Structures are given as structure tokens and as C-alpha cells.
Structure 1
Amino acid sequence: MRVLFIIKTYRSFFSLISLLLVLQPTQAADILDGLVLALTFDEGGGDAVADKSGQGNDAKVDGNAKWIDGKIGGGFQFDGKTWVVAPHIPFNDKDFTIQFWVKSDMLSGAEEVVFSQHELNSKNLSLHLRLYSTGKVRLGYYSNDLDTDAGLVKKGAWHNLTFCVDNGKKTRTIYVDGEMAKKGPAAEKYLGKKGDTIIGGWNRVDKGRGKAYQVYMGAVDEVRVWHRALSPDQIQLSMKTEMPVEAKGKLAHLWSQIKRSSF
């Protein structure tokens, strides 16, 4: 009887291993599905920031390029006078997820936009993802916003921020470090059809602040955008996954890059 128990135990163990081997590439495929922007900031120099999604949305540094050690590999330090500009990515009328790592300087009283796309100063026409010095996080469309509680983001610490919009379910959700921080209705969709995709500020030239308004000061790493709403499990998996050299067609390599560093 003991021998039979051991045999059954080994069979169960190897069945589990086989199941994991099947599931892992599928999970990797899930992360790549719908990916339209992946900036790893691993260049380490120059003014070019390659899009690793395979969609060709390469970005450029406008200002002083300061390459640093990031959360995963390399990262980028924003000084309040610099931003990174990628082409327009359509968000209007779409489900989408935006995710990135930040380590903010969090100046007292500051409101800092990490990611934006501006068409007009009008309701639902100016996408902005904002940090407050209080540690609050905002998903903003302009006069149609979703805010977390204060105290979720700490100065000088790496935090993962994920913004998920599911128009089918009419929900908008903000995740901080993989945990749901705020969920609210999305009764009205984002409507903007113009504007560069900017990391490091908000293109509100009407404010007379030069090229950027509510500029971000701090580090950023692993900016990713999907044209779909990720599930909570997929958000967690993406946090733990390093993008391959080029994501398109690299599923096996992607799974091999499951993040080696801890949170």
C-alpha cells in the first residue's frame, strides 16, 4: 500500500509539472496580447527609447537624458525639464491598460503627471495619469476623473501603477503594486483622437509653463500599454515579467524572462 501511495504521489507531482509547463507559455501569450507600447528604458544612453512591443511606437527624449538603474534593468530619471515622447496611441472608445513603475521625488504640494495624451482642454479629451505629493493617484480624462485615497505612493520607493479601463463593463480601476486601490464607473469613454503620448508631463501649453505642465520629477521604468483591459492576474504577471528584446513572436523567450529581481 505504501508503494502504491508513493507511485500515486509521484504521478500527481509530474502531472502538476506538466500542467505548469502547459500554462506558462499561455500566460506569456496573455501578456503580449494587445500590447502596443513597451518602453524598457534599457538603452543606457542616447535620446532614443525603443518600443519593445513590436508595434513600432519608438519614443525620443526631449530634454536631458539621464539613464539610471531601474526597477528591472535600466530606467530613466526625469528632472522636471525633460519628457519622453512617443507617437499618438489611440485610446478613444477603446478598452486599455497602462502600467509603469515610478520612484517619485514627490515635491511638497506638487501635482505631477507621469503619462499623458492631450487634445483639448475639454471633458474626456485630455488623458493624464497623475501623482500627488499626498500619495494619491489619479486616472484623469479632464473633468471626468478617478482618484485613489492618499498615502498609497511613498517618496523614494518603487511603486507599480496600473490603470485599467473596461468599457464593456463600464469600469475604471487603479492598481497600486498589483492591488486594487480604486474602482469606479466609466459611464463616459475617453474621446481624444490627437496628441503625442508623453511620459514626464502634461502638454498643457495654455498654462504658459513652456513645453510641459505638472511635470514629473523622479524615476520611471517599464512603461507598457495594452489595447485591452488586463485581468488582476495578468496585471500581477506583467509586474513580474521582463519584456524580451522584441516582444512580437518571442513567447518562449518572454517566459524565460520572468523577473529575476524581487519587489
Structure 2
Amino acid sequence: MVRVAMAISLCAGVATPALSDVAKGIEALEAGNVQGAATEFQSAFETGDADGAFYLGRLFEMGLGTEKDMRRAAELYAAAVSKQSALAQNRLGLMHLNGEFVLQDYQRAAELICAAADQGEPNGQFNCGLLYSQGKGVAPDAARAVGYWQEAAKANHVAAINYLGQAYQRGTGIDQDATAAFATFQRTAAAGNPMGLHELAKAYASGRGVDRDLVKAHGYANLAAVRGLDEARLLRDELAGMLDAASLEMAQAFARDWKAVPLDQAG
């Protein structure tokens, strides 16, 4: 194992613009140069980029280039939080939510996670929405939960899009709208997300939010099943018994010819 020397000063302040930065550190990490990445992250933090300490913390959390050390990771996340890193606010908030090497504290978790959300961090927006939907650390507020998921969905956050689709299905925090639910799940389904694919299959099978189409229902259930959803496999097999041979061949051809489109490339 390559040992990473990390002696970051937790009281580092803002200095002149960094010659080294987080983007360079990420590039080094992707190239397998963990030591170089750590140097870039440390330099970035010392010259005013709070996310530098967050990424150093991730190295300790994942045990990349050093022994895994969750307590050190938490210290680095706290250092990054002190400089308003939204990435660190979200991660340290999750640690407080779950009681991982810090006190389990729902109120502190909500403060951190929702601060990240209010800075526009998509994971923070999704997680803050969850907290409002569950009433953990904040008063339950389904409408606010939906609002945060809507913001995260704008950044193509898959889980937020799916939760928003469920909100439309159930009328939780937003007007119930089967057509809007279908359109919402259509976004994640197009990218190959299993839940999105399964929800389209159910919608086509029931005619909820879209015209009933058992061929497409089978095709989407087939695509979701191959991605590991047992419920989708059961639905696919149930639909197979409802289709004649020609329709079943059409459904299988639909699944065979289907291609995923990344969310950021969708029209």
C-alpha cells in the first residue's frame, strides 16, 4: 500500500489562489496517483478550498493510500464544514444521522444536510428531502420534502427523481397526478434505472398515467428484471401469460432493441 502523508492543518485559512486544486487532485486519483491526489487536496484546502479537506477525508474513509480511519475522516469533514463545504456538510450529516464514529444526533444531521441542500448540493437536497419526509431532526413536512427533491431532480439526481415520482403517485406533498408520475419515472427508466423501468412496466400494465400497453409493460418488466428486481421478474412472467405468441415476440424484441440514454444526454 502506498502511504499517503497527510499532515493537513485544520486551522488553515484563505491565502492566495491555489496552484494545486481539487480538480487536479481528482484527476490524479482517477489516474491511480493517490499520493499526488492527497497533495493536491491538502494544498487546495490550505489555500482556501474547503472541499480539499472533504476529499482528504474520503481517502481516509475509503482507505485509499492510507489505513482506513473513520475518526480521522470525521475530523477532516468537520474541518471542511467549518469552511462551508457542502460536500462535507452532507457527509458529516449522514454520519450524525447514523451515529457513525460521531454522536447520533438527528438535529445536527438535519442542520448539516439541509445546509448542504441550501447550497445547492444535489445529494444534500435529496437527503434533506428524506429528513422532512421522515420527520428526523425536523418537523415532518411532505411539501418541503418534495421541494428539495424537485431541486435535486434538476441536477439529474436519480433517487430524487424516483422519490418525486412516488410523491406524484401517492399525492404526498404534491397533487396526485398519475400522468406526471409516469413522466417522472420515464426519465430514470430511459437511463436504465431498475426502479424507473419497473414503474413504467406497472404503469403500462395498469394503464395508469399512460395508455395500457401489455407489450411495452412486458418489455420494461423484462429490462427491470435483468437488473435484479424480483418484483419485475414476477410481473414479466405474469404478463407473458397474458400475451399471445406474436405479442410476446414483440415485447422481447422491444427489450432486446432498447438502449439506455444517460440522464445528462436525454433530450
Structure 1 and Structure 2 fold alike (TM over 0.5) = no
Higher-strand-fraction structure: 1
Specify which structure has the bigger relative contact order, considering alpha-carbon pairs within 8 angstroms and separated by 6 or more residues: 1
TM range, normalised to the smaller chain? under 0.3
Higher-helix-fraction structure: 2
